[in-house]
Amino acid sequence: MYDPSHLRTFLSVAQTLSFTQAARRLGLRQSTVSQHVRRLEDAAGRPLFSRDTHSVELTEDGEAMLGFARRILEAHEQAAAFFAGTRLRGRLRFGASEDFVLTRLPEILEGFRHDHPEVDLELTVELSGTLHEQLAAGKLDLVLAKRRPKDPRGEPVRRDRLVWIGAERLRLDPDRPVPLIVYPPPGITRALALDALQRQGREWRVACTSASLNGLIAAARAGLGVMAHSQGLIPPGLVRVPERAGLPELGRVDFVLVHGRRRPSAQGAADALASAILAGGDRLHRPRRTGLGEPV
C-alpha cells in the first residue's frame, strides 16, 4: 500500500520541513518530491503536510505517519541486509551533539549495534562546535550536530526553531541585562544567542556557563536565567519564555550529518549509521509523555 520510496521522501520532508532540502538530500527534482508526497497522501487518504509559500508543517495525520513510515522502512532495510548477507566490520568514531542526550538517539544506536555487531562503535558526546573541530582534525568519522552558520556542508537530519526557555516562574526585568545560561565557546547556540541580542541592542550577562547539558538544565530550573534551545528538544521542567519578555527571535537551526575524511575501514559503517539516523530522524526529539507517564 505504501511505496518505500514515497515513505523515504516523506521522512526527508518531515525532518527538514523543506521540499527543496529534501530534494537535495535525496538527489531528486523538487517536482518529484512533491509527487511522492502527493501519492502517499492519496494512498493514506489524508493530508500529511500543511504547506504554503512560506512554511511546511506536519498535520496530525502526518505526525502519525512518521512512526509508521520509520517502522516500515526499518523492516525493509533489515530484510535487504539479511538477504544480501553483508557484514560490516571496523572501527567507527561517531560524534553526537549534547542536544541529543535526552532524545531517542540511543535507540537508533542500539539498533545499529544489533544489525552490525562486528563494528566497534566509539561515541563522543560534545558541543556541536567542538565536534566540527574534531572532525576537521581527523579525530571523528561521522558527526551529528548543529550546522555552523554559513557552512553549506552536511546532510540535513532535522530542522527546528530555536527558542528562549527558562523556569516557568522566571520573570525578566526589562531594565536589567538578560541573564544567560550558555555553553562555553565554541558553542553554536551560544554564538547565535549572543548575535541575536547584540543585533537587538539588548544588554546581557552570563549567569551560568557549563559544557554539560545537564548543568545548563539545572541552572535554568533554578531560575538563574534563560537559554537558547531547540524547540523540539525542550527538557522537562522548562518552558518557552513568553513573547512579552521582548527577547529577539533566534531563527531556525539545522541538525546535520557530516562525514569526515573517508577512512576505508570506516566508510561502510559510517554510511550505514548515517542511513539509520536519517531513517529514524523523527525520534530525535524530546519524547512526549502520556497521562500514564509513558514516553510516546
Please name which of 258, 240, 121, 239 lies closest in space to residue 188, comparing C-alpha atoms: 258
Q: Is the confidence at residue 289, as pLDDT, over 50? A: no
Q: Is the confidence at residue 84, as pLDDT, over 70? A: no
Across the range 284-291, mean pLDDT stands at 50
Length of the chain: 296
Q: Which residue has the higher pLDDT, 287 or 38?
A: 38
Chain centroid to Cα 109, Å, comes to 15
Q: What does the pLDDT read at residue 16?
A: 85
* CATH entry 3.30.70.360 includes domain 90-158+254-283: no
Phi-psi region of 48 (alpha: psi -120 to 50; beta: other; left: phi over 0): alpha
20-62 pLDDT, tens digit per residue, is: 988 988 889 999 999 999 999 999 999 999 988 788 999 999 9
Compute the Cα dihedral for 142, 192, 11, 294 and give only its sign.
positive
Where are the chain's structural domains? 4-84, 90-158+254-283, 159-253
In a 13 Å sphere around the CA of 284, the CA atoms on its Cβ side amount to 31
AA identity, residue 170: L
215-232 pLDDT, tens digit per residue, is: 999 999 999 999 999 998
163-215 pLDDT, tens digit per residue, is: 999 999 999 998 999 999 999 988 889 999 999 999 999 999 999 999 888 99
Q: Is the confidence at residue 85, as pLDDT, over 70? A: no
Q: What does the pLDDT read at residue 172?
A: 94
Burial 68-104 (b: 16+ CB within 10 A, else e): ebbebbeeebeeeeeeeeeebebebbbbbbbbbbbbb
- Euclidean distance between CA atoms 150 and 225, whole angstroms: 29
Cell of 32: 518529484
Q: Is the confidence at residue 4, as pLDDT, over 70? A: yes
Provide the 3-class DSSP secondary structure of residue 293.
coil
- Euclidean distance between CA atoms 296 and 39, whole angstroms: 27
Please name which of 119, 94, 114, 226 lies closest in space to residue 168, comparing C-alpha atoms: 226
Domains 90-158+254-283 and 159-253 alike in fold: yes
91-146 pLDDT, tens digit per residue, is: 999 999 988 877 888 888 998 898 888 899 999 999 888 999 999 999 999 999 99
Q: Which helix (DSSP H) or strand (DSSP E) does residue 164 occupy?
A: strand 155-166
Strands (E), 17-139: 49-51, 56-58, 90-97, 119-126
Domain 159-253, CATH class in plain words: alpha beta
Across the range 277-296, mean pLDDT stands at 55
CATH code reported for the domain at 4-84: 1.10.10.10
238-259 pLDDT, tens digit per residue, is: 999 999 999 999 988 888 999 9
